[in-house]
Amino acid sequence: MRLFKILSLSCLFLVLGFSSMNVKALTGNETSQYYSVVYDKEQESAVVAKLIYLNRGKDEIKNLKLEIHGTTVRVISAVQEQAQTKTQANCSRYDYNSPIDQSGERRCLEYSESQTIPSYTYALLDTDSLKIVNNGLSITLDLALKQPIASQKTGTVILYYKTQGMANKVWNGYQYSFETIKSPYDIDNVRVAIDVADDLYIKETAEGTTNYQSNITSALPALSSKSFSESASFKDVSSRIISAPGVTKETSSLDPNENFRVEGKYYNNNWMGELPTIIGVGLTFVVILVVLLVILKSEKKKN
């Protein structure tokens, strides 16, 4: 009987833990950052960042203070994403004697349970004001939100910016050191995907493939700075950032004003990327050859 109680309690704790994880996953009650970073031959990085902030405080958040790293930082656009829900009733019985309307459906006689569908709208934010340069190593952007983030709610901002000073040329390619954005909030999860322009090479992803930088540029003209509006193209960009391809690194549980650094190399072609390995194999072969020659000479002397 005692064993049964212990097993029952264990199962209960597992169910509660699993349920809490599911609730968190479904409600999105966390602060996350997602980055799609593309480097080029000029050692410039083009970055699309999706920043999701959960307001854990009591007061609404009207501004986001963001520190972006780079000796030169050019913020091209900032877009606020607003999530809403639409309730759509599902028809369970139609009047097949009625004419078909413009939407291609007949008159509904009976509705079943309604369905909640997520809806997203977007608005451009002002990025020209309240920029502070910090010793030539970063800028601080004080971003005024169109829609404040209420207490215990989440808000999303999508930034498109370019930086220099986060990559250097080395003997066989380029060394990069990308740093994520600092903000005065706890960050639960961070995901960074590093890729390169089409004419470059980075290990783990083979030939470079340009990602969403061109897509976001084409989607921006449809947005307004005056009000929120729907945009299918920008919604597509937003949804894809969280799973952007490339050399992917992740971390979690960052403190306020703490960020995540990702370092690595990229090359002009795959041969340059494999050159250190080729040189290493060649040196190993030479060492083995020298050792064999020494052994042969010593054997001849003995004879």
What is the residue whose two structure tokens read 């291609």?
104
What does the pLDDT read at residue 77? 94
Tell me the pLDDT tens digit for each residue of 214-268: 688 888 888 988 899 999 999 999 999 999 989 999 999 999 999 999 999 999 8
| CATH T-level fold of 22-84+119-268 | Immunoglobulin-like (2.60.40)
Task: Give the end-to-end CA distance of the chain in Å, rounded to a whole number.
Answer: 84
Q: Which residue has the higher pLDDT, 68 or 135?
A: 68
Q: What are the residue boundaries of the structural domains of the chain, listed by start?
A: 22-84+119-268
Q: Name the pTM for this structure.
A: 0.76
What does the pLDDT read at residue 90? 83
